[in-house]
Amino acid sequence: FSSGVARDAGQVTIQGIGVTELVEQFGSPLWVIDENDFRARARAYVDAFNEAFEPLCGGVDVFYASKALLTVQIAKWVKEEGLRMDTASGGEMALALRAGTDPSHIGLHGNNKSDEELHTAISHQIGRIVVDSLPELYRVEAMAAQLGQTANVMLRLTPGVDASTHQHIATAHEDQKFGLTMTPAPGAETSDAYQAVHFAANAAHINLVGLHSHIGSQIFDSAGFETAATRMLEFIAVLAAEDIVIAELDIGGGYGIAYTEADDPVEPAVIAQNLAAHMSTEIDRLGITCPRISIEPGRSIAGPAGLTIYTVGTTKTVWVEHDGEHYPRRYVAVDGGMSDNPRPVLYDADYTAVLANRVSDADAVFSRVVGKHCESGDIVVNTVYLPEDTDHGDLLVVPATGAYGHVMSSNYNMLLRPAIVAIKDGQAREIIRRETYDDLFAREVDL
């Protein structure tokens, strides 16, 4: 739960505002984001990484990975807390620009950027285009030449790390679509990464800003980050010996958060200190100067600051068999589901839920919270113990839905997407309004 969540007179409250009041005012389901908590988490990265790395490599730039949760208001909070903006598409970049983000503080990622995206990035002179492949690098040089400009380029490399996370969100091993490989092909003398650095360092219309690696997402084990840092620094040492100075190293995002009590995330301060200590040893060993460090956390800023409120519609109990025993499972159906949170169905992601509008003395029973979509995989919380009397009209709260929920939501079954309410200093305000049926029909050409 975000820091502002408490129980008051039986009800779950966020900064003192009860869930019943929120649903009366803004409808259900509802995404709630604790703005103070979001801002504090954003600031914590800036403070922790600057403190840990300042003596070693100078200040750290923290780029908020806006794919986790992005609205104009959120872009403004990010800027006010002193973070920069990582975007991964023309749409995210356009929103960042619309929200008034300084273009020099914007980064653009993507394994397959369109000409239009590159054109916008170069002509706005954004801080860094994170180039993902050799062909893209050549396109950037050609386009910058054509526009008579210099493109700020970072190169994304795959340091060959198997991060311990779901395979769909692991990104640094070789056999996946992102990044320039650091391993030469059989019979080849140099890797794509090496060739890209040489091309970028000598290209007339490219300013090589630095190197980038991102090993994956929802990672708890710091070993992967350390291995990646070592590989990147070793490569930087090879380049330094050829008089190619790499001024900046981005070590990506991916820090895990707690979705249930089984998860035990590491605080930013601890991550920063461990990484700084590891890099300090490696830098001494390799005899190089430390590049400026940047990072790109998304989930760990937005995720814990958010929660979803659902209303219970109907329930049923079925008897299931496990290891020869039969036991009851209660299905509790709510008014949203895979359209507002596809993570359980996509990644088998675990969440939890609590009865939020009242306290119940009833026994807690083995339950599954499901949505209202027309498929059986539409699960909100796979396994949770809820009071046996949980029933129609009750409110459930699912914590930690701030990241990769709204941004991956859909209108499947023509469900209306919920509003997002931000709560700051005890005041609630809508930052994204609930959809209407007219929104659903807005793109019909002939209505």
CA–CA distances in Å: residue 325 to residues 23, 319, 321: 40, 10, 5
Pick the closer one to ligand LLP by CB: 347 or 412.
347
Beta bridge partners of 31: 308, 420
Q: Point out the catalytic residue in the list 9, 318, 374, 445.
A: 374
The encoded tokens of residue 232 equal 């990147």
Pick the closer one to ligand LLP by CB: 254 or 268.
254
Distance CA 61, CA 40 (A): 17
The encoded tokens of residue 12 equal 């779950």
Distance CA 376, CA 368 (A): 12
Distance CA 144, CA 150 (A): 6
What's at 327, amino acid-wise? Y
Pick the closer one to ligand LLP by CB: 112 or 445.
112
In 284-363, the DSSP E strands lie at 292-295, 306-322, 325-334, 354-355
Distance CA 104, CA 126 (A): 5
Pick the closer one to ligand LLP by CB: 105 or 214.
214
* 290 in active site: no
In the complex, minimum distance from the CB of residue 166 to ligand LLP, in angstroms, rounded to a whole number: 7
The encoded tokens of residue 266 equal 């590491």
Binding-site positions for pyridoxal 5'-phosphate read 254, 296-299, 404
Q: Residue 166 CA to chain centroid, in angstroms?
A: 14
Pick the closer one to ligand LLP by CB: 29 or 298.
298
In the complex, minimum distance from the CB of residue 219 to ligand LLP, in angstroms, rounded to a whole number: 7
Pick the closer one to ligand LLP by CB: 130 or 333.
130
In the complex, minimum distance from the CB of residue 151 to ligand LLP, in angstroms, rounded to a whole number: 18
Task: Say if CB 174 and CB 128 are below 8 A apart.
Answer: no
Binding-site positions read 254, 296-299, 343, 347, 375, 404
The residue count for the chain: 447
> What is the C-alpha R_g of the chain?
24
Phi, psi values for residue 422, rounded to 5°: -100, 135
Binding-site positions for substrate read 299, 343, 347, 375, 404
Which residue has 């092909």 as its token pair? 185
DSSP state of 416: P
Distance CA 101, CA 1 (A): 29
Distance CA 131, CA 146 (A): 18
Enumerate binding residues for ligand LLP (CB under 6 A). 65, 67-68, 86, 109, 169, 214, 217-218, 252-255, 296-300, 343, 347, 404
In the complex, minimum distance from the CB of residue 93 to ligand LLP, in angstroms, rounded to a whole number: 14
Q: Beta strand 379-387 with 364-370: parallel, antiparallel or unpaired?
A: antiparallel
Catalytic residues: 374
